[in-house]
Amino acid sequence: MRVEVDQSLCSGHGQCAVAAPDLFRLDEDGYVLPYDGEVPEGREPHARAGSRACPERALKILATDPGAAAG
Ligand code: SF4
């Protein structure tokens, strides 16, 4: 699973970091910092919770391409 952060949509509500502080961090003004994409195994529920918590829909959950690791 991957998470894509669209910082242009972020309005600094900080809800993502409240819902999933292990994944989403904020800058000093409360805006989400870039996320490198891949969600560590076992943290998928946190990623979904953070995404759902964002009122601006700035955090998009993307399924990892199952073919990406093959071949
Ligand atoms: S919840 Fe959404 S709007 Fe708020 S800081 Fe996180 S990404 Fe930005």
The residue whose CB lies within 8 Å of the most ligand 1 atoms, and thus the one to mutate among 3, 9, 10, 61, is 10
Residues of the chain with pLDDT under 70: 65-71
pLDDT of residue 65: 66
Q: Note the pTM of the prediction, 2 decimals.
A: 0.85
pLDDT of residue 11: 97
Residue 31: exposed, middle, or buried by beta-carbon count in 10 A (0-12, 13-18, 19+)? middle
pLDDT of residue 55: 96
Cα dist. 58→35, 67, 71 in Å?
A: 12, 26, 33
The residue whose CB lies within 8 Å of the most ligand 1 atoms, and thus the one to mutate among 46, 56, 60, is 56
Domain positions in the chain: 2-62
The CATH fold assigned to 2-62 is Alpha-Beta Plaits (3.30.70)
